[in-house]
Amino acid sequence: MRNINEIIEKIKDIIAKNLGGKRVFDKDVASALKITPNTFATMKSRGKIPYEEVIGFCVKNRISVNWLLYEQDTSSLVETTNQYAYVKYFQNVSASAGGGADVDDEENGKLFIDDQVANRLGMSLNSIEAINVVGESMEPTLKDGDILFIDRDKTDISRGGVFVVSSPHGVFVKRVFKRVDGQIDIISDNQDYSPQTLTPDEVTIVGKAVGVFGSVD
């Protein structure tokens, strides 16, 4: 994966192309990512990649996230090619230990990825969507700010796993287990959070977690 400085330079190239070759500075990158200059400077000095903002930039500019984050050559800087497919990215939807939103009711953008990568992971791009992770309830498996890929076709919890769950309390990403008595255990990987047990009519399984763009400490 590219480091933060390499990603910034690529974003500068894209902005410059959109501006007809005009010189681009860090403040312009911060503005494009919708980050304050001070926050941007701090993240840059710490080598921390703002995944959510970078992926939002990719969605807006129809750029393959694989090209921007990884060293993958393409025949064009920003044009979409047959090499790339896309998944729906719900930038305003978060799965967390707190509240959330109904995924079906939110606007989405197109997050372009290399379809060969998806195929190697066994993903059917027609059913893959991406949302944000907020909070620390699933650490160390998932971290605040991660971009989570979910497969909407995988809703069978009989063997357990990490799922995005919609309940009257909000949208969560948790480990989900179906008990013998039919009730459903909702478990956080972070042991500071207590498990919950819900009845089947309180739970809608949105999809199974199948991939993540992780945070950089």
pLDDT at 41 over 60: yes
Do 77 and 144 lie in one domain? The reply is no
As for how many domains the chain has, the answer is: 2
Do 102 and 182 lie in one domain? The reply is yes
Query: Region 46-63: what's the mean pLDDT?
Result: 82
Question: Which domain, by its residues, includes 200?
Answer: 83-217
Do 71 and 93 lie in one domain? The reply is no
CATH of residue 63: 1.10.260
Q: Which of 32, 56, 82 is the last residue of a domain?
A: 82
Do 96 and 180 lie in one domain? The reply is yes
Do 117 and 158 lie in one domain? The reply is yes
Distance in angstroms (rounded) separating the CA atoms of residues 95 and 173? 5
pLDDT at 40 over 90: yes
> Is the alpha carbon torsion for 62, 66, 67, 73 positive or negative?
negative
Distance in angstroms (rounded) separating the CA atoms of residues 25 and 11? 10
Query: Region 117-135: what's the mean pLDDT?
Result: 68
Do 208 and 129 lie in one domain? The reply is yes
Higher confidence at residue 63 or residue 214?
A: 63
pLDDT at 215 over 90: no
Q: Dihedral, CA atoms, 157, 162, 165, 169, nearest 10 degrees?
A: 120
Least Cα distance to 94 among 50, 167, 148, 161 occurs for 148
Do 169 and 208 lie in one domain? The reply is yes
Tell me how many degrees the CA angle 143-164-115 measures, rounded to the nearest 5: 80
The pairing of strands 84-96 and 170-178 is unpaired
Distance in angstroms (rounded) separating the CA atoms of residues 66 and 111? 10
Q: With contact defined as beta carbons under 8 Å apart, do 4 and 47 qualify?
A: yes
Do 89 and 138 lie in one domain? The reply is yes
Higher confidence at residue 109 or residue 202?
A: 202
Amino acid at 94: S
Q: Which of 38, 65, 82 is the last residue of a domain?
A: 82
Do 64 and 93 lie in one domain? The reply is no
Tell me how many degrees the CA angle 131-110-160 measures, rounded to the nearest 5: 35
Do 29 and 93 lie in one domain? The reply is no
CATH of residue 115: 2.10.109.10
**pLDDT, position 110:** 65
**pLDDT, position 111:** 67
**pLDDT, position 169:** 77
Do 32 and 130 lie in one domain? The reply is no
**pLDDT, position 148:** 83
Percentage of residues of the chain with pLDDT beyond 70: 72
Do 58 and 111 lie in one domain? The reply is no
Least Cα distance to 127 among 175, 88, 178, 80 occurs for 88
Name the β-bridge partners of 165. Answer: 172, 205
Q: Which of 36, 54, 82 is the last residue of a domain?
A: 82
